[in-house]
Each structure stands twice: as C-alpha cells, then as structure tokens.
Amino acid sequence: MQFQYKIYSPETIKTTIQLPASKSISNRALILNALSLSSAPIENLSDCDDTKVLIDAFNSDSNIFDIKAAGTAMRFLTAFLAGMEGEWIIKGTERMHQRPIHPLVETLSALGADIEYLEKEGFPPLKIKGKKLKGGEVYLSGNISSQFISALLMVAPLMEKGLIMHIEKEVVSKPYIDLTMGMMSQCGVHAKWEGNSISVKPQRYKAVDMVVESDWTAASYWYEIVSLLPGSEIKLIGVSKESMQGDSNVANLFNDLGVTTEYTSDGIIIRSQKKKTKKFFHNFINEPDLAQTFAATCCFKNVPFLFSGIQSLKIKETDRVQALINELKKLGYILIENEIGMLEWDGERCTPEKEPAIDTYDDHRMAMSFAPGAITNQSIIINNPDVVYKSYPKFWEDLKHAGFVIEERK
C-alpha cells in the first residue's frame, strides 16, 4: 500500500501563515545572479525541490545535471548552458523525458547553439556543447510554454547580435514573461515588447541585491480553504498588492467564490463571506497554475464552471486536465473536456467512491488543491503527499498549524 495522508478539517480557522518564497522568482533570480556574475546571496530563496536542483547545478563540479521533475530548471538551464563554454548533459525523471523541449532547442540552434538529443528526438535528456551564441531574429508560437520564452530572454543580452523574438498567436502565461522582463530590468538589462515582438540588445547585467517575495500561487490553497469554511480568517505573510506575479489575480477571482482580501503592510488577511456566483467563468491563459485550485473549489462549493485557456496544463508535471477529470470523478463530479484548452462542470454528479484516495501524479498542485476537500467531504485521502516538496515543502505542517488533523497511512 502506498504512503497516504488522511486529512480531517477543523470547524473554523483563524490563524497566520508564513507563505513560502516564490519558486518562479527564485529560479529566475538564480539564473540572473549567475549571468551577472554576482557573489551576493539571494535573500529568501525558496527551499522547494525545483529551486534546490538549480542551486545544486550551480554548485556542482560535474558536467552532468539531473534536474529531476523541475520543468523550469530544465528550460532555464538548457538556455543558460547553451551559452556557457563547455560540454554539458542535462537529464531528469521519466516524466521529464516525456515533456517536449524541441521548440526551445530548435530556437537555440537557430541562434547558434549546439544541442543534441540523447534519446527521443524532441525530448530530454540533452547533450549541450556550450559556446557564445550569435543571436538574431526568431519566430515562436505564443502558445508554447512561457518558460521557453523566459529562458531565451534571460540569455539574450549575452548573444553577439542580441535577440528579436516575433511571437505568433496568443501568448500563454504572459505575466510570467512580464515577470522575467521586470527582473531583468532590475539587473540593468532592458527588453522592449512592441506589438508581437520582443527585442533585447547586447548588454551586460549588473549585480544587484535580490530579495524573493512570497508565492501567490501558494496563497491560492488558503483562499480555497477560506472559501469552503464559513467564518474563517487567515493572515498570509509575505505577499503584496504590487507583486509582479500574475497569480496575484487570485485575490480578485476568489471574490466571486466568497473570499475578501485586505492588504496589510506585511501581507494580506483573507476572510470568508456569503457571496457566491451561480457559475464561474474564466480564461486561465494568464494564470494556468490556478486552474486546479479553482476546479476543486467550484466542485466542492457546488458551483458549475467553464474554464478556457488551459491548453498548457496538458504538458505540465502530468496532463493536469485529465488528472482533474479522473480524481474529481472519484468524489462524484463529472467534468468534461469539450476541446483542447477548455474544461467544464455543468453540475452533473455520479456516485462517489466509498473511500476515495486522490492520486497526485507526481504533481504538487494536485495534492494541494484537493487537500481542502476534507472540509466538504468529512475527510480526504491524498496519495503520495510528499509531492508538495516541489513548491511548498511546509504545506502539511501549515495545515496542521491551521487546525487540520493529518493521519499517516502506509
């Protein structure tokens, strides 16, 4: 029998939670710190698995990097190493070797990189012969992972000719690209985004002191808890209204699902209210990492929904759309994927399993978005709960601090 947690909810919650540092900002900060040749430590770096593999890579004496299940690290390091003198091998988990990387590799190759697929064409692991990249003009589809575009942006100033990216179609996760450009600007490098083109001239990064803010995506699970548990109030430390993180929009979106947000000098206070929309509609093109939280919340609150803009979820840690369909069905909810990029629940129910155990598919967000289901389902069982280490290592400790009871089962 696999390792499980069985989770029971408190009757109400009034607590304070120190949110984890942002994984997205931490990973960009590590790359930019290396490109600027800074020796200054980065304050409040995330201690999650995805960031640790990047730290390990930069501290390693080896030319072989195992980034495990960290998609961001795979994309960022591929671009970084392509421009660094030496011969490198970068690999990951079995699932990572199933996640396509050819759009990034092909673009880097067009800019002068020397990259070879070691197994299946178009997928990791990769062999990289690093050298100074020529740069130039490239064309990219906007519906690829924003991490590909961010990876190229960060190394662009070091290219001989700089870089001009012409982006076709609607851009997925645009706020993450804005975040990258904002952090580059803090390090003295400026990129220009006009129309469908982003241009970066050859420039030098300057070393700056970096402080990583807390993670708005992690905040979403506490919004879900407050939405499901009347009378609750939680203070979340470390996030701000002025954040560059696109997922800060969670504060606006949860207003329709019964949560108010008060901004304070050191974070936010979220409180439950009775307001509840009849049906929840949203295009998650800018916040795909919030989709699982909202799918679970809407089902647990009995609010039908229609999501669009979630096509990138199919190439994450797992096919997150199919995972949501599978696991919510165990709890009695029938979701429909009408077409790629869309997911709907019209209120249709089926008989739930007697004691369902939620599979997590090596995906941290499956575990964290389903855990609050303990509130409306009397209890909930989560399989392989350790997956949360990918982005929020103290999640289960924080749940206990808030009053949840967690039983270990093996």
Q: List phi, psi (to 5°) of 312.
A: -70, -15
Whole-structure pTM value: 0.92
Q: Is the previous residue joined to 352 through a cis bond, with omega within 30 degrees of 0?
A: no
Q: Is there a single domain that holds both residue 93 and residue 228?
A: no
Residue 175, domain extent: 23-200
Check pLDDT > 60 for residue 92.
Answer: yes
Are 356 and 376 in the same domain? yes
112-161 tens-digit pLDDT: 999 999 999 999 999 999 999 999 999 998 778 889 999 999 999 999 99
Q: Is residue 354 part of a domain?
A: yes
Between strands 136-141 and 163-168, the pairing is parallel
CA–CA dist 375, 361 (Å, integer):
22
Instruction: Give CA–CA dist 246/409, Å, rounded.
Output: 37
Q: Is residue 206 part of a domain?
A: no
Q: How many CB atoms lie within 10 A of CB 75?
A: 24
Residue 256 annotated to the active site? no
- pLDDT of 1 reads 55
Domain boundary residue, one of 176, 200, 224:
200
Contact 140, 165 (CB under 8 A): yes
Residue 205 lies in a domain: no
Task: State mean pLDDT over 324-342.
Answer: 95
* Band of pLDDT at residue 316, cut at 50, 70 and 90: low
| Residues 275/303, Cβ–Cβ less than 8 Å | no
- Looking at the fold, whether 256 and 118 belong to one and the same domain comes out as no
Q: Does residue 121 share a domain with residue 218?
A: no
Answer yes or no: do 391 and 259 share one domain.
yes
Cis peptide before 230 (omega within 30 of 0): no
Q: What is the per-residue pLDDT across 195-227, written as a single tens digit (0 to 9) for each?
A: 999 999 999 999 999 999 999 999 999 999 999
The alpha-helical segments, DSSP class H, found in 90-214 are: 102-110, 146-155, 174-186
Q: CATH no. for residue 310? A: 3.65.10.10
Total domains present in the chain: 2
**Residue 353 falls within a domain, yes or no?**
yes
Of 289, 362, 363, 398, the catalytic one is 289
Same domain, 278 and 397: yes
User: Coil, strand or helix: which one is 224?
Assistant: helix
